[in-house]
Amino acid sequence: MQQRRQLDEKQINRELLNGNLETPKWYYPVMGVLGVGVLIGFATILYMFNRGLGVTGLARPVYWGLFITTFVFWVGISHAGIMISAILRLTQAEWRRPVTRAAELLTVFSLLTALFFPLVHAGRPWRIAYWLIPYDWARGIWPNVRSPLFWDPIAIGTYLTGSTLFLFVALIPDLAILRDRTTGIKKTIYSMLALGWRGNPRQWQLQVVAGVLLSALMLPIFVSVHSIVSWDFAVTPAVEGWHSTIFAPYFVIGAVHSGVSAVVTMMCLMRWLWKWNNYIRPEHFDALARLLIIVATAWLAFTFLELIFSLYGRDAPEIALRELQMFTWPWNLIFITFLLTGYIIPVGCWLFKRCRNNIAVMFWTSILVNVGMWLERFLIIVPGLSRKQVFVYTWEGYWPSPVEWIILVWSFAWVSFLMLLFAKFFPLVPLFEAKESQVFTTEMKVGRATVPMVIRE
């Protein structure tokens, strides 16, 4: 199962920098397509700002729909970064090495995208853009500290700051390598960013300490960000199906599930696009899939618990909601799809070693997971609002309008665009991690067997 190969430094440098020192052939066409998608998306958003939220499908009583679903979805995906870089770093798991930077990058860009959605979904976005910054902009009124919508930007902003710092600190050694291999304006920029890195022992020690400190500090954020986002929903007693104590850990574990699957998707793409077969190996997918099985099963347990406890009180409004959510068209189809794509099909595949080591299977199952997780958020938010309390003609349906779908697709195009843009200028696999893994892993003979060995930090 261990597939490590002996690589020397020059080979590592050359292979991992092949996207930065020259541009691959597929790069510009792909960026062109994504760029068009991004522009269409921005144009649609501006159209919506101009005409008003009437262009969406929102109505009474479903005041939150696709935008908030996508917001929660992107915050969820952002949890991959911490899981992989901080937790796996603190537990010294060797197999994290190729993916730390890509995961952190995904975090940063998905958080940026997530922050778009509360802006976009508000009735007066030009006001909400700055009225939530803690300062009395108008008439001496500060934002309402009691509102979960105020906690959201604080939590996400903290996470964003921490992740960006983390990303940058880990990027410095690679920036120095690029500085030393480029000329002209690129060299100037890389030099500025590399902050004078020389690679001497003192600097390496500082870098490691910074990484460990940031990892430890980010762990509480990891749990609290999605808990706070979940409290947007959980604190209102009026909406059946939302006012449940389990929302916080349920959302956090769903986020880990979704985020780590997104990292798997990204790893497959990285391997294919830049031909990094030496660095992203089937053993990484195997380890990730096993982690995902545990996470997904825990997530399923939480889903099950949430359902049981909502029905246990035998409250008529809650039962009415669950009837809609699970048994009424079109929600019954969405519910079954969500269960199948979020858990049954992926975990069913991942239980088999052949599937875990097969890159194509991992790619498609990880995409399925994220489809399922988006549907999960949709299923939590919209049916709950459709069937609030038992008043006459306040039970309504909701279907997103074309404007909302375009903006959903735009968010994916935007994140991909940003990531590819980053990949043009900076290596996606940390060079120093690849080199470290060469040094930190070795082999020992135990009897007649040869066992891989890892040096403990």
Partner 1 sequence: MIEVPVINNTEKFNSATNSLVSSTKEPLGGKLKLIFGIFGILSVIGIISLILKITTVGFDVKSGWGYYAAIVSLLLGVFGTAPMVAIAPTIAKADWHRPVSRIATMFTLAGISTSILAIPLIFALPPLVVGGIRRRSIWFDANIYTPHVFFGIAVIGLFLVGLGLLWVTSIPDMAIMRDHSSGWKQRLGKSLSRGFVGTERQWISLRARIGMMGTFYFMFLIFVHIIYSVCFSLELVAGWKDAIYPMYHAATGIQSGVATVIIGLFLFRKYWKLEDHIRIDQFWALSKLMFATTIFWFYFFICAFMIFWYGKSAINEMTIAILVNGPYMPVFIGTLLLSFIVPWWIIIWNPVRYSPWMLSVVAAIVLIGSVLDRIRLYVISWQVYSDEMIHKRYIPLDEIPENMIAPSIFDIGIFVGFISLGIFAILLATRFIPVVSIWERHQSILLTRHIKFHRTEVYAVGKPD
Partner 2 sequence: MVAEKQSKFKWGMAIDIDKCTGCQACVLACQAENNIPINTEDNFKDARGIEWIRVERYWEGEFPDVKAKFIPILCMHCDNAPCEPVCPVYASYHTAEGLNVQVYNRCVGTRYCANGCPYLVRFFNYWEPEWPESLQNQLNPDVTVRSRGIMEKCTMCIQRIRRGTRKAKRDNNEVMDGDISPACVQACPTEAMVFGNQKDPNSKINKMKNDKRSYTLLDHLKTNSNVWYLAKVDEDMDSHSKEGGH
| Selected binder of partner 2 within 30, 87, 128, 269 (CB under 8 A) | 128
Q: Number of C-alpha atoms within 13 angstroms, CB side, residue 204?
A: 6
Strand partners, 441: 454
Measured in whole angstroms, the distance separating CA 349 from the mean position of its chain's CA atoms is: 22
Binding-site member from 74, 247, 331, 410 for partner 1 (CB under 8 A): 247
Residue 252 structure tokens: 């956090």
Distances (CA, A) of 187 to 12, 101, 143, 175, 176: 21, 22, 44, 10, 10
What x-and-dash track marks residues 1-20 binding partner 1 by CB under 8 A?
Answer: xx---x--------------
Which of partner 2, partner 1, none does residue 185 bind to, with CB < 5 to 8 Å depending on kind?
A: none
**What does each C-alpha distance from 221 to 212, 229, 257 come to in angstroms?**
15, 12, 17
- In whole angstroms, the minimum distance from the beta carbon of 50 to partner 2 comes to 10
Q: What number of residues does the chain have?
A: 457
For the chain, the farthest-separated pair of C-alpha atoms sits apart, in whole angstroms, at 79
Going residue by residue from 56 to 75, which x/- string records binding to partner 2, judged by CB under 8 A?
x-xxxx-xx-----------
Cis check for the bond before 61: say yes or no (omega within 30 of 0). yes
Residue indicated by tokens 């060469």: 438
Of the candidates 11, 23, 205, 236, which one interacts with partner 2 according to CB under 8 A? 236
Applying CB under 8 A, does 145 fall inside the site for partner 1? Answer: no
Compute the least distance from the CB of residue 55 to partner 2, in Å. Answer: 9
Helices (H), 122-200: 125-131, 148-179, 184-194
- Residue 28: helix, strand or coil by DSSP? helix
Pick one of 150, 272, 412, 440: the residue that binds partner 2 (CB under 8 A).
150
Among 43, 195, 333, 453, binds partner 1 (CB under 8 A): 453
User: How many Å separate Cα 170 from the centre of its chain?
Assistant: 19
Which positions from 190 to 229 touch partner 1 by CB under 8 A, shown as an x/- string? ------------------------------x--x---x--
- Residues 104 and 163 sit within 8 Å (Cβ to Cβ): yes
Q: Between 303 and 342, how does the x/- string for binding to partner 1 read (CB under 8 A)?
A: --xx-xxxxxxx----------------------------
**Positions in 394-423 near partner 2 (CB under 8 A):** 394, 396
Residue 454 binding: pick among partner 1, partner 2, none (C-beta 5-8 Å cut-off by kind) = partner 1
Give contact residues for partner 2 (rule: CB under 8 A): 51-54, 56, 58-61, 63-64, 118, 121-125, 127-128, 131-132, 138, 141, 143-144, 146-150, 232, 235-239, 316, 385, 388-394, 396
